[in-house]
Structure formats: structure tokens, C-alpha cells
């Protein structure tokens, strides 16, 4: 790209450069991946909800995957880096209402503008693989998969609580219920909670595997795995039967069977069948049950409950304990019934205290445990730890663990495992989603829509207070596929989490018309190697996607793929300048659009990637943006001056050139390792250091052209994944024809003994600084560095391995000639904890000679490097391996 003289002064103009290279990448199909590529590196960002504009969180998320994808591509990998649109959901319906349009048009507009923004950021996606979930050619496969899940026995109708507006006569989403008073968002009527039958996917069938497999997901952050473990919530316990009044045996579920002697009341969930039976005979109970069922499950009051007048028989003691119906016992947890032990359970304690029920201790801390048995007062507070049994008849003295085991048999119980995980209710009473492919026939019940009639497409959107699908009379009424009678379509649509549970598979074959994805290719390309997205998806999305993958593998749509995402990174938040979360209401948001216009995409990308490691949060910083921008401008200007022949080259200082050459290699090696580890900020730091070294090189001497150019090219390549446009521009300045995006990554092997040499140079510079400071030398003229003699290196070598340093040194025939001096040095070494690795004297000397120019620049002095033989005796005597002697003349 040619630039005018005027622009040259200002460096590059991102407004020209960025669109130019975006078009060039596009023309060259850089980001396209062939269908027959064998197992490409699959790099994936969570696809965005189609809100219409990208925020900084998106920009960060997508910069991470784009940088990594570009890095892998330059390393020669085939890379799959696709993008799509999570485009169903309630906000589109709301927007359509507000703007007098329809969800489809609104969504498509959002997609257009977001796609433009992604392109402006320079993100390289294979747009041929774009997936849009609100398109019938995608959601038909949701419907098809729903049927396959149903065939596999994984779809059920279950009752679930919904928000119901009695005035609008419609179900409301949680987001449509407003305030503490729970009012309908449209008409301000208090909503009701209604139990209605819904479609569920029985993810609980996979609870055990979803839990177990977490242990092997080494590439996932531990906190996400722990959140999933808690969500699945496995509890190992037991069930035991209590006889309740005349109502027969009622099974309870407990994790603390060891406390059964301390049960002082029994409690049923309001929805338990026996509670319902009692309610039929007892008005108080009936009233309570009705009240409890209308209440919102999320707002539990532990003390709420009613005594039924009935008693339950404790199978351990034969004792009769009062039976309550209480809200805190959940109908769909365990068996919906429990025996309560106020002495050892907090909720039971609170309830018992409120209702005046007895509190009886049956467990105390084991001898030797931290807690003091005397200090525990269960009347005041529940003791919830394990311990040893007391007041438990013949079982006193057993540990809790032993008792739990023994009691199962003793009281005729059963081992039982419970999970917190519930089945996944996918029914939504909304328009903008995938219609559930079922038809309700008065005679046949629910009948599936035949495969050949898929997709069931959404009808035209209509503005209505209720579900537009209910209002779509023509769409709704169909013939029953079984008997031909008049029938009605299911008007529920699917939870949008269904869409995102398998979109990563659709990317492997986005246009396939006879299956959701090509099973062979998907099995070959999966799992995703690097998945990056927000922590807000730690549980639901990631768990559902894992569930889908396992099911698809079990029903042979995949072959041997049981987990979708090998490595997972949750990017941290981008905070506002004030350190708070960016938000509209706080007014601390920074619009990506504005930053792109003002500074360009590369600056934004570089700033974001330098600011912190991907997992960490960071605050927006105008200075940081400025710094990133200046760095890019300066690098470009340096490279351009070189390319234009404005930098004098041809200097013959081989030592300096060698030093720089080694730094170039070392930087490539370090940056590569950091990229591999997703430590982009460290990689970029290394690049900045290399560029600053090149600048010092050019200031210190006329650089060797080859070395200098190699340095610039290496820095540019290492920067290319993060700031790809400027990098292409520099690459072109150097006269390269092809695209840098497709060029080879620099070789990444650190030079031999790089670390040892670096430590030697740094320590030596540090020592010189110390001397100059302490002695207070104003204007050093000559700095002499003398390397230790070979025999001292021998002594250190012996010391590194010897058990007894002094005798071994003294016993060494070669060293005997150094007598006293060798013995003294050996004694000194013997007193040290360890000896760093060091280079032989000749190499140490060469290393110091290479680095001498840095010392010269720093102190404005001449530097002389001497071998021990060349040096004055008293100077050489002070030198140690790895620690040259230093003499400074003012």
C-alpha cells in the first residue's frame, strides 16, 4: 500500500489500512476451512445473542479466539473458527412490540449490523459456515432432534409451575413478571402460579455420567467444574419407611440416617400425596396446602408449616412423632418426606424452635475432634457435623459413618442416591423460538409431526397480549397425522438453550439438508479444542451441551464423542474506567464502534490483550489504549523507515549483532510458549521488549541489515495474531507478496543456554550499577569485566555434585597446583546453599562481549572484557564463575 509523504509522518492510517486487509483476507479465503480437512484445530467463541450491537465483553471474547486461531493457522494448523447467531428469544419479541416490526426483521437487522462490527474488528471467521438458529434450516433440526430424543425415551410431559396472568389469560416468562408484588408487565394484575404440563428432556438420566466425567475435564477451570458438581448435587443417603397414622408407610430420604434416634417430628411436602390425602380430611391442612402451592417456590420460609394431628412411628425407636406439612420440604426432592432432627439440622432447628418441638441430641464430637462436646448446646444451635452416637440405644459409641451403614439394614431401609439436578423443562409459551413438533389430537393424544413435514415453520408474527402462536388460528389447526381428525398444534416453543446445545456440531456441515450434521465429519472434528466464553454460562449452557453430546453419541449420531469442549476459558469482565462493571445506567460504557473509529481495531485488540490474562478482569484505561496505539504507530514507523532505506545499516559489530540475534530467537520461543498457554499479555510484553531492543540497537550502531530485518519481521509476526492489520501492512512494506495471515510462524527454539547467559548478563549489569552507586562514580570511563579462571569453574563443577566439597577439591590432582586459593574457594562454596549453572570461561567471556554494548550505553563508558589470564592478578582473583570481577575507572 502506498502512502503519501504527509501520512508517513503520522504513521499508518487505520481507516485505510484496516478495511484494505479485511478485504484482502476475504479475497484470499484465508479463514475458509475445507470440508475434507482432517481434524482441524477447532477454536470457538460462544456465539452472541443478536442484540444488535457488540459490547466490550464480546470484543474481548472474540479477540481471544481470533488471536489464537490466527496463531494456530500461522503455525500451519488447519483451523476451524466459525461464527453464528443465537437469534431466538424473548427480547426480539419485545423489540418487535416496541418498534412496530416483527421479531424476524428485527433480528435480521441486528445480525447485519453485528456482522459488520465483527468484520471491522478484523475477526477472521469462515463465514461459509455461519449458523443462524432462527432460520428454519437450523431449527428444523431442533425439531428433528426432539423426536430422536423422544424415541430414545428422553422426552417427558411433567407438571411445572408457571406464571399465569389471570387477566391476560396467558403464561408469562419470569422476565415478564415485575417487582416484589409480581405483577403482569402489561396489565399490572398480580400473577398466579399455576401447575401446567410441559415438555421436559430427562437430563437426570445422565446425572451420574455428567458428574463423573467432570473429573477428566482437565482443560476446564476448576471453578466451573465445581459449579457443575454443585448444580448436579449428588447426595448419597438412604430411604426408610415411617408409618404415618392410618395412611400407611411413607418413605423418607435422608443423608443422615445416623441421627434417626433424634427425630422429634416428621414432615411432608405440601405436594406429597399423603399430605393431599390428609388435606382432604383436615381443613387446616387443606388451607395450608393451598396457600403453599400458590406461593413462589423461590421464597421459602423455613418456619412455615402446619401440624396435621397425625403421628408417625419411628422404626428405630417405635416412638410416635408429630407429623407436619411444611413448605421447606420440597415435593420433587428425595421422596418429598423427611424425619426432622432439630439437634443436627439447621432448618429443622429453626422450625422446631418456632413450633415448640423437642430438640434431642444424638451425635456429639468424636474424642479428639476439634470441637469440645461440653461446649455444644443443641438447644441453642444445631450441631451439624459427624461425630459419635449418644442416646441412640444399643448403638451409642458408633461413629456417624458406621451408623449410617449399619442402620440401613437395621431399619429395613435402602441405599439411595439423590441429585439436585432436575429434568430440563424446555417449553416456552412464546413466539420467537422453535415450535415443538407435536400435534394434540382428541383421540390420539400427542402425535409427532412426521419427519417429512418438518420444519414446522413459525407463522407470521401477530401483535397480541398472549402467545402469538395461540392466535395463529390457521397455523394451529391441522389434521391429526394418525387419524386425520381435526387436531391442534403444540403452541409451546423450545427453550433457546436447545439451540445452543448443538450449534457447534452444525458448523461442521452448515448446509446439510438431510441431517443436522455430518456424523463422520463431526466425529472427526469434535471436540472443540478451545472454547471461550462468559462465566455466566458455567452451568446451564455448558451442562446442556455436554448432555446433548452424550445423547447424540448414544443414539449413534456421533461416534465416540462424549464431551464437546476439551479446553474452556472464561474471559474476565471488562470494567469501566471507574472499576465498575460497564453498564448503560452507570454511564461508564465504552463503545467498541467509537474506539475502532478513533484508534482502529488493532489498537483495541492490542490494548485488550495486553491489559490482563484472559481469565482476569481489567478496567478500561484511556492511557492503556493510547499506549497500545503509540506502540503500533512506532513499530510501523520504524519498519517503514527501514524498508525505505532511511536507517543506516552495514555496521560490522558482530558481537552486538550476535546479541540481538539471540534475543530475537529467544523472544520467538518465549512468545510462542505464552501463546500456547493463552498468556497473550506475556507474549506481547516479550514483543514490546524485542522492539525496544531493536530501537536501542539502531541507536547504538549501524545495525547489521539481516539481523535488524529479522528482528522486525519476527516482532511483526509475533504481533500478527493480535494486531493483524498493522502486521500485514509492515509485511507488505518489506516487499512480501503473500499475506502474513498465511505466512509461517517464526521458528521457536531458544538459543543454547539462553537463560544462563541472560542471568550472567543481568547479574553483571546489576553489580556494575551497585558499584557505581555505592562508590558514587560520576562519570565512569572504562569498565573492565574479568572472567574467572578455568580452575574456579572446575571447583564449582565439583561443588555442584560433591557431598564433601573441600576434601574432594583438595584431592583433585588438577587443582592441587592452586593450593591455598583452591582450598579457600572450596570452603567458601561449601558454605553456600546452591550453585547456579554457569558457562565455561570462554563462553562466559563471549557472552559478556556480546552484551558489552548495553553496559556501554547504560554508563557511557568503554567496556573491556578480559579472560583471567589477561586481567590483572588482583582483579582476576575476585572473579567467580557467573560473577565476573569488575573494575571501574573514572
Closest to Zn ion by CB, 187 vs 485, is 187
Tell me how far CA of residue 560 lies from CA of 39, 516, 564, 626, in angstroms. Answer: 14, 17, 11, 49
- Which position among 42, 62, 199, 339 is part of the footprint of ligand ANZ (CB under 6 A)? 339
What DSSP element (H or E) covers 862? strand 862-866
- Tell whether the torsion through CA atoms of 605, 606, 611 and 612 is positive or negative: positive
d(CA 262, CA 339): 9
- Which position among 78, 213, 295, 330 is part of the footprint of ligand ANZ (CB under 6 A)? 330
- Which position among 67, 168, 449, 713 is part of the footprint of Zn ion (CB under 5 A)? 168
Nearest to 172 by CA among 296, 280, 270, 283: 296
d(CA 167, CA 188): 9
d(CA 652, CA 646): 18
Nearest to 227 by CA among 541, 481, 565: 541
Nearest to 154 by CA among 737, 698, 555, 651: 555
* Binding status of residue 269 toward ligand ANZ by CB under 6 A: yes
Specify whether the CB–CB gap between 737 and 716 falls below 8 A: no
Beta bridge partners of 479: 486
* Residue that has been written with the C-alpha cell 539481516 in this structure: 706
| DSSP state letter for 686 | H
Contact segment (CB under 6 A) with ligand ANZ among 222-230, 249-257, 564-572, 782-790 equals 249-257
Tell me how far CA of residue 656 lies from CA of 661, 704, 857, 859, 882, in angstroms. Answer: 8, 9, 12, 17, 20
d(CA 673, CA 68): 12
Residue 326 in grid coordinates = 411444611
User: Judged by CB under 5 A, how many residues of this single chain contact Zn ion?
Assistant: 7
Contact segment (CB under 6 A) with ligand ANZ among 337-345, 388-396, 585-593, 716-724 equals 337-345
Q: Residue 165 binds which entry of ligand ANZ, Zn ion, none, with Cβ cut-offs from 5 to 8 Å by kind?
A: Zn ion
* Residue that has been written with the C-alpha cell 498493522 in this structure: 726
* Binding status of residue 254 toward ligand ANZ by CB under 6 A: yes
Q: Residue 339 binds which entry of ligand ANZ, Zn ion, none, with Cβ cut-offs from 5 to 8 Å by kind?
A: ligand ANZ
Contact segment (CB under 6 A) with ligand ANZ among 305-313, 329-337, 426-434, 472-480 equals 329-337
Site for Zn ion in 172-191 (CB under 5 A): 184, 186-187, 189
Tell me how far CA of residue 580 lies from CA of 76, 326, 538, 587, 890, in angstroms. Answer: 41, 42, 22, 10, 54
d(CA 710, CA 406): 75
Binding-residue pattern over the window 449 to 488 for ligand ANZ, x denoting contact by CB under 6 A: ----------------------------------------
Least distance (Å) from ligand ANZ to the CB of residue 334?
Answer: 3
Q: Residue 167 binds which entry of ligand ANZ, Zn ion, none, with Cβ cut-offs from 5 to 8 Å by kind?
A: Zn ion
* Binding status of residue 349 toward ligand ANZ by CB under 6 A: no
d(CA 827, CA 880): 14
Closest to ligand ANZ by CB, 120 vs 345, is 345
Q: Residue 187 binds which entry of Zn ion, ligand ANZ, none, with Cβ cut-offs from 5 to 8 Å by kind?
A: Zn ion
d(CA 554, CA 515): 16
Least distance (Å) from Zn ion to the CB of residue 250?
Answer: 40
- Which position among 58, 225, 256, 349 is part of the footprint of ligand ANZ (CB under 6 A)? 256
C-alpha count within 13 angstroms, C-beta hemisphere, residue 672: 18
User: Judged by CB under 6 A, how many residues of this single chain contact ligand ANZ?
Assistant: 17
Contact segment (CB under 6 A) with ligand ANZ among 185-193, 252-260, 634-642, 787-795 equals 252-260
* Binding status of residue 365 toward ligand ANZ by CB under 6 A: no
d(CA 838, CA 321): 80
Closest to Zn ion by CB, 204 vs 464, is 464
Bond before 605 cis per omega within 30 degrees? no
Binding-residue pattern over the window 576 to 615 for ligand ANZ, x denoting contact by CB under 6 A: ----------------------------------------
Specify whether the CB–CB gap between 700 and 853 falls below 8 A: yes
Residue 831 in grid coordinates = 558454605
Least distance (Å) from ligand ANZ to the CB of residue 376?
Answer: 14
Least distance (Å) from ligand ANZ to the CB of residue 331?
Answer: 7
* Binding status of residue 167 toward Zn ion by CB under 5 A: yes
Q: Residue 583 binds which entry of ligand ANZ, Zn ion, none, with Cβ cut-offs from 5 to 8 Å by kind?
A: none
Closest to ligand ANZ by CB, 77 vs 405, is 405
d(CA 16, CA 124): 18
* Binding status of residue 341 toward ligand ANZ by CB under 6 A: yes
* Binding status of residue 165 toward Zn ion by CB under 5 A: yes
Least distance (Å) from Zn ion to the CB of residue 464?
Answer: 12
Separate counts of helices (H) and strands (E) for the chain: 31, 32
d(CA 810, CA 794): 12
- Which position among 225, 344, 541, 717 is part of the footprint of ligand ANZ (CB under 6 A)? 344
* Binding status of residue 255 toward ligand ANZ by CB under 6 A: yes
* Binding status of residue 271 toward ligand ANZ by CB under 6 A: no
d(CA 587, CA 345): 46
Q: Residue 254 binds which entry of ligand ANZ, Zn ion, none, with Cβ cut-offs from 5 to 8 Å by kind?
A: ligand ANZ
* Binding status of residue 259 toward ligand ANZ by CB under 6 A: yes
Give residues in contact with ligand ANZ (CB under 6 A).
235, 253-256, 259, 269, 329-330, 333-334, 336, 338-339, 341, 344-345
Give residues in contact with Zn ion (CB under 5 A).
165, 167-168, 184, 186-187, 189
Amino acid at each position: 500500500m502506498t502512502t503519501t509523504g504527509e501520512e508517513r509522518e503520522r504513521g499508518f492510517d487505520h481507516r485505510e489500512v484496516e478495511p484494505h486487509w479485511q478485504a484482502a483476507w476475504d479475497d484470499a479465503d484465508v479463514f475458509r476451512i475445507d470440508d475434507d480437512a482432517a481434524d482441524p484445530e477447532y477454536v470457538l467463541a460462544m456465539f452472541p445473542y443478536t442484540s444488535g450491537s457488540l459490547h466490550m465483553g464480546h470484543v474481548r471474547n472474540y479477540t481471544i479466539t481470533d488471536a489464537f486461531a490466527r496463531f494456530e493457522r500461522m503455525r500451519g494448523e488447519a483451523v476451524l473458527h466459525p461464527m453464528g447467531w443465537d437469534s431466538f428469544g424473548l427480547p426480539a419479541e419485545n423489540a418487535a412490540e416496541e418498534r412496530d416490526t416483527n421479531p424476524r426483521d428485527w433480528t435480521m437487522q441486528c445480525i447485519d449490523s453485528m456482522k459488520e462490527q465483527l468484520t471491522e474488528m478484523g475477526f477472521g471467521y469462515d463465514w461459509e459456515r455461519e449458523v443462524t438458529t432462527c432460520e428454519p434450516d437450523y431449527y428444523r433440526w431442533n425439531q428433528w432432534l426432539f423426536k430422536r430424543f423422544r424415541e430414545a425415551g428422553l422426552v417427558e410431559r411433567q407438571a411445572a409451575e408457571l406464571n399465569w396472568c389471570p387477566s391476560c389469560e396467558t403464561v408469562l416468562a419470569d422476565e415478564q413478571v415485575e417487582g416484589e408484588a409480581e405483577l403482569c408487565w402489561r396489565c399490572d394484575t398480580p400473577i398466579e402460579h399455576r401447575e401446567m404440563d410441559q415438555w421436559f428432556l430427562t437430563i437426570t438420566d445422565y446425572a451420574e455420567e455428567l458428574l463423573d466425567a467432570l473429573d477428566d475435564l482437565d482443560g476446564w477451570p476448576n471453578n466451573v467444574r465445581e459449579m457443575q458438581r454443585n448444580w448436579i448435587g449428588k447426595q448419597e443417603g438412604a430411604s426408610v419407611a415411617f408409618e404415618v397414622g392410618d395412611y400407611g408407610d411413607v418413605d423418607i430420604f435422608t443423608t443422615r440416617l445416623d441421627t434417626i434416634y433424634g427425630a422429634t417430628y416428621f414432615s411432608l411436602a405440601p405436594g406429597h400425596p399423603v399430605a393431599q390425602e390428609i388435606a382432604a380430611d383436615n381443613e387446616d391442612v387443606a388451607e395450608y396446602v393451598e396457600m403453599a402451592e400458590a406461593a413462589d417456590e423461590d421464597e421459602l420460609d423455613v418456619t412455615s408449616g402446619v401440624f396435621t394431628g397425625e403421628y408417625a412411628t419411628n422404626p428405630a425407636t417405635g416412638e410416635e412423632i408429630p407429623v407436619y406439612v411444611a413448605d421447606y420440604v420440597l415435593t420433587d426432592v428425595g421422596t418429598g418426606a423427611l424425619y426432622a432432627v432439630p439437634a443436627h439440622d439447621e432448618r429443622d432447628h429453626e422450625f422446631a424452635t418456632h413450633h415448640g418441638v423437642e430438640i434431642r441430641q444424638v451425635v456429639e464430637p468424636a474424642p479428639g475432634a476439634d470441637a469440645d462436646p461440653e461446649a455444644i448446646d443443641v438447644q441453642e444451635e444445631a450441631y451439624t457435623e459427624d461425630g459419635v452416637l449418644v442416646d441412640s440405644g444399643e448403638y451409642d459409641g458408633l461413629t456417624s459413618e458406621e451408623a449410617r451403614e449399619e442402620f440401613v439394614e437395621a431399619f429395613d431401609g435402602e441405599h439411595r442416591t439423590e441429585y439436585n439436578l432436575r429434568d430440563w423443562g424446555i417449553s416456552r409459551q412464546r413466539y420467537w423460538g422453535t415450535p415443538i413438533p407435536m400435534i394434540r389430537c382428541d383421540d390420539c393424544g400427542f402425535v409427532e409431526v412426521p419427519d417429512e413435514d418438518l420444519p414446522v415453520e413459525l407463522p407470521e408474527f401477530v401483535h397480541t397480549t398472549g402467545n402469538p402462536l395461540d392466535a395463529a388460528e390457521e397455523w394451529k389447526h391441522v389434521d391429526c397425522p394418525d387419524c386425520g381428525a381435526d387436531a391442534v398444534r403444540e403452541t409451546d416453543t423450545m427453550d433457546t438453550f436447545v439451540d445452543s446445545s448443538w450449534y457447534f456440531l452444525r458448523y461442521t456441515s452448515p448446509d446439510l439438508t438431510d441431517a443436522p450434521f455430518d456424523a463422520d465429519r463431526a466425529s472427526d472434528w469434535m471436540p472443540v479444542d478451545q472454547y471461550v466464553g462468559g462465566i455466566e454460562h458455567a452451568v446451564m449452557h455448558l451442562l446442556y451441551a455436554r448432555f446433548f453430546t452424550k445423547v447424540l453419541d448414544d443414539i449413534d449420531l456421533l461416534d465416540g464423542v462424549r464431551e464437546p469442549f476439551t479446553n474452556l476459558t472464561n474471559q474476565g469482565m471488562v470494567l469501566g474506567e471507574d472499576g465498575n462493571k460497564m453498564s448503560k445506567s452507570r454511564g461508564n460504557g465504552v463503545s467498541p464502534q467509537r474506539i475502532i473509529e478513533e484508534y482502529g481495531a488493532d489498537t483495541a485488540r492490542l490494548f485488550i490483550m495486553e491489559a490482563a490474562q484472559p481469565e482476569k478482569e481489567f478496567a478500561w484505561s484511556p492511557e492503556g489504549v493510547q499506549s497500545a496505539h503509540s506502540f503500533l504507530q512506532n513499530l510501523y514507523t520504524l519498519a517503514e523507515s527501514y524498508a525505505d532505506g532511511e536507517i543506516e545499516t552495514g555496521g560490522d559489530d558482530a558481537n552486538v549483532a550476535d546479541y540481538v540475534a539471540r534475543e530475537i530467537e529467544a523472544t520467538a520461543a518465549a512468545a510462542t510458549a505464552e501463546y500456547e498457554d493463552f498468556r497473550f499479555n506475556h507474549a506481547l510484553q516479550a514483543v514490546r521488549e524485542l522492539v525496544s531492543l531493536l530501537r536501542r540497537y539502531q541507536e547504538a550502531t549501524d545495525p547489521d541489515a539481516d539481523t535488524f530485518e529479522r528482528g522486525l519481521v519476527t516482532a511483526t509476526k509475533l504481533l500478527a495474531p493480535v494486531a493483524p492489520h498493522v502486521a500485514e501492512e509492515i509485511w507488505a512494506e518489506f516487499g512480501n507478496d503473500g499475506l502474513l495471515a498465511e505466512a509461517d510462524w517464526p521458528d521457536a527454539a531458544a538459543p543454547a543456554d539462553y537463560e544462563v547467559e541472560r542471568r550472567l548478563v543481568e547479574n553483571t549489569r546489576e553489580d556494575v550499577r551497585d558499584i557505581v552507586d555505592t562508590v558514587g562514580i560520576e562519570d565512569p570511563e572504562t569498565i573492565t569485566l574479568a572472567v574467572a579462571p578455568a580452575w574456579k569453574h572446575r571447583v564449582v563443577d565439583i561443588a555442584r555434585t560433591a557431598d564433601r566439597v573441600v576434601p574432594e577439591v583438595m584431592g583433585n590432582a588438577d587443582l592441587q597446583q592452586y593450593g591455598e586459593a583452591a582450598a579457600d574457594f572450596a570452603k567458601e562454596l561449601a558454605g553456600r546453599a546452591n550453585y547456579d549453572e554457569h558457562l565455561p570461561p570462554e563462553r562466559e567471556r563471549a557472552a559478556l562481549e556480546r552484551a558489552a554494548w548495553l553496559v556501554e550505553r547504560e554508563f557511557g563508558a568503554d567496556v573491556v572484557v578480559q579472560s583471567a589470564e589477561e586481567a590483572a592478578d588482583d582483579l582476576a582473583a575476585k572473579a567467580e564463575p557467573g560473577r565476573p570481577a569488575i573494575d571501574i575507572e573514572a
